[in-house]
Amino acid sequence: MQDSPRPVIILVRPQMGENIGAAARAMLNFGLTEMRLVSPRDGWPNPKAVAMASGAAGQVLDRARVYPGLAHAMEGIELAFATTARGRELSKPVHTPETAMQAARAHQGRTAIIFGPERTGLENDDVARANAIVTVPVNPDFPSLNLAQAVLLMGYEWGREVLPAQPAPQPRRPDAETPADRVEIERLGDHYEDRLAEAGFFFPETKAASMRLNLRNMWARLPLTRGDVRILHGLLRQLTRR
């Protein structure tokens, strides 16, 4: 699917099992399957994480590995990105999610994206172990993202250029969805003109021709299906029934 390995997702001191499970779902949405956990607060395995992962994303949790510290969790990683919304004293390259994942795709070795605990985010000691920082351009008055939202956003930026394009599902084309042809549109226009004439709509006589022309032009512009035409005929018959 791609030349460079998929990024590893490292969750540092995650606090809630539900957020770990939601992060696993976000990962699998975009083909990311390797999760590493650093000192999860409520231990591991966590039944709340399993319940939130639901279905196929459970495989991400089944393979998740737990480490006592971030340094240990960086085993085999050559390029790491620390996600943070706060300014830092540390001098490091700063990326948006888009440019970070461009760099990850260009790198032929193992890469990782590091996420901090829900309440505080990554500490300086955590960020110091990364090659670069990723900051999402969000509202400065409310820069906080939910853990799973942050994982989803990074996963999307990774997957949008490496996952195979998925064409939009094509709707079935039964008769109701088949475009009406011009003869059907003409008959619909005739039906409405006849009933409107009986109701005295085309008044005054001096404007009748223009009104008919505009009405006919309106029918021609509408992208009607055969099902639409049947509904409009039936609607008019019901309205004019005596």
pLDDT digits 0-9 by tens, 198-225:
999 999 999 999 999 999 999 999 999 9
Q: Are residues 130 and 24 in the same domain?
A: yes
Count Cα neighbours of 99 within 13 Å in the Cβ-side half-sphere. 10
Asked if residue 98 belongs to a domain, the reply is: yes
Q: Are residues 68 and 181 in the same domain?
A: no
Q: Are residues 214 and 151 in the same domain?
A: no
How high does pLDDT run on average in the chain? 90
Residue 65: predicted pLDDT: 96
CA–CA separation, 87 and 239 (whole Å): 67
Q: Are residues 47 and 152 in the same domain?
A: yes
Residue 17: predicted pLDDT: 92
Residue 212: predicted pLDDT: 93
Residue 122 has a CB neighbour count (10 Å cut-off) of 24
Q: For 110-167, what is each residue's pLDDT tens digit?
A: 999 999 998 888 999 999 999 999 998 888 888 778 999 999 999 999 988 877 776 6
Domain count, the chain: 2
State yes or no: pLDDT of 60 exceeds 70: yes
Structural domain harbouring 181: 175-239
Indicate the DSSP class of residue 204: S
User: The tokens of 61 are what?
Assistant: 């949790």
Asked if residue 142 belongs to a domain, the reply is: yes
Residue 210 has a CB neighbour count (10 Å cut-off) of 10
Q: Are residues 36 and 154 in the same domain?
A: yes
Asked if residue 202 belongs to a domain, the reply is: yes
Q: For 70-125, what is each residue's pLDDT tens digit?
A: 999 999 999 999 998 766 678 899 999 999 999 999 998 999 999 999 888 899 99
**Is 35 in contact with 11 (CB distance < 8 Å)?**
yes
